Structure formats: C-alpha cells, structure tokens
Chain A
C-alpha cells in the first residue's frame, strides 16, 4: 500500500513513547498516533491552528531582563 501523505512533521512524543502527534506539512492535517496499538486518530480541531509552527512551551517565572510590559 502506498501512502500519499508522508510529508509529516512530528510535533510531540509522550514521555512513555507511546503517543506521537504529527502534522502533515502541506495541509496541516494533524494526527495522534498510538505506537502501542498502531492506531491513528485525526485531530478534529479545524484549520485555524498553524500546527507546523507549534512549539513546546513550559511555564516558568524566568524574567525577561529589566523590562516589564
């Protein structure tokens, strides 16, 4: 079987390595792949999210030198 949408960008891998979030680089279809049972689920949120720009973010109290807004 040939897959036509292998232009994938992995966004996040869960800590136990079981779950992977991938986005398709072209149409931004985003998938949750479960490595354990080899199942894929399409994320239902619509195209208002630019998935391929997503970055990991963890909250902190780090100050941005000098300036407050």
Chain B
C-alpha cells in the first residue's frame, strides 16, 4: 500500500495495524484502516538511510518499530546502529548493534526485515566485505545466516540456513513469510527457484 503518490511507504503490517514511513517529512504513521484511526510521530532525526520494520512484542503486548542504519567505518568494517520505538510510551531507545550485517536490497528505503510471531528476521552475511550491503557473488554459502531479533527481549539470535543450500545463487536470496512460516528462497542452476520453509521457528 502506497499512500499519497508514493510519499508513504509501508514499513510493515501486523495484527491489522499498518506502519508507514514518510522519508520526506521524517514521519512514521500507524494506521488501522478498519477502524480508520491513525497516529503519527515525527522522527527525532532526518537520516534517510534508516530502514524500518514493524512488529508486536508479545510479552509487553506493545507494538514496536525497529530502525536500522548500517555504515562503513574507515577500516572498511560495517557497523550498525539499531533503535527501537515502542508505541505507547512513544520513545526511541538505542539497543545493541547487530552481531552480523543484514543484507539490504539495493532499492532505496526498502526494508527486507520480515516479522514473524514476535520477531523480526533478516538475511545476513557474516564478515561482509562488499561495498553497499547488497548481494555479492563472492559471498560464500557459509557466510549466510538468518538474523532474528526477539522484540520482547530485544536480543538477537542467529539461525542457520537449510543444509541443502550449497550453491551461491545468481540473484540475491530472500527471506519471506509464507503461510505463517519463515521461508528462505533462491534461484538455482539458472533453471529452478527453490523455497525452503522453516516448519518450527528457530528449532
């Protein structure tokens, strides 16, 4: 859903609420289209490089936005900054930075963190050495990992990809949620498109 000619982009949808981001005016909007209610907050910073994910903390029963920003240091090491906004107390907090760097899609502002039962998940690469945090063919299979943040504890877990994933695909592999399961998908041998479904999350 894109509102107002593309100024508002969807950060996420969860339990009937939609979280939208407007980079032009640095504003987050929460909407429930069914009850026609909305709530807006202006971002305390105007950095357009932040990407946003939206989800539900099942423990405190609050909605949270994860804002992430990834940058390269002078020594070429990637560094992340992660902030969490809690709807209700309407505050931003810095949390521990990412242990591994999520792969971002080259497409500007696109957020590829996926929400699933109290967690937000990204496809990440350990020891990333590329330049723009996007897919690079020199990334080895062993470097890929699923990075998961638990919105209740605000801690990270790293999950391994399926063992059958043993050849670097041509295009950037993706993490999606299908039928309430985390799925990892990639092209294979120029002829196939493979979708792996995680039946039990985190097991």
Interface residues of A (CB under 8 A from B): 1-3, 6-13, 15, 17, 20, 22, 25, 50, 52-69
- Which interface class (under 10, 10 to 19, 20 to 34, 35 or more) fits B? 35 or more
Residue of A nearest to B16 (CB): A60
> Within B132-191, which residues are at the interface with A (CB < 8 Å)?
170-172, 174, 176-179, 183, 185, 187, 190-191
For B87, list chain A residues within 8 Å (CB): 64-65
For A64, list chain B residues within 8 Å (CB): 17, 30-32, 37-39, 87
Closest approach, in angstroms, between the C-beta of B62 and any C-beta of chain A?
9
Closest approach, in angstroms, between the C-beta of A1 and any C-beta of chain B?
7
Across the interface, B35 reaches (CB within 8 A) one of A7, A9, A20, A63, namely A63
Residue of A nearest to B174 (CB): A9
B203 within 8 A of A: no
- Among the 9-residue stretches B6-14, B73-81, B91-99, B118-126, the one with 4 or more Cβ atoms under 8 Å from chain A is B6-14
Closest approach, in angstroms, between the C-beta of A8 and any C-beta of chain B?
6
For B10, list chain A residues within 8 Å (CB): 53, 55
| A-B contacts, 5 listed (Cβ < 8 Å) | A3-B191, A8-B185, A8-B187, A17-B179, A56-B13
A3 to B193, CA, bound (A): 10
**Residues 97-140 of chain B, each 1 if its beta carbon lies under 8 Å from chain A, else 0:** 00000000101001000000000000000000000000000000
Query: Do A6 and B190 have beta carbons less than 8 Å apart?
Result: yes
For A10, list chain B residues within 8 Å (CB): 174, 176, 178, 183, 185, 195
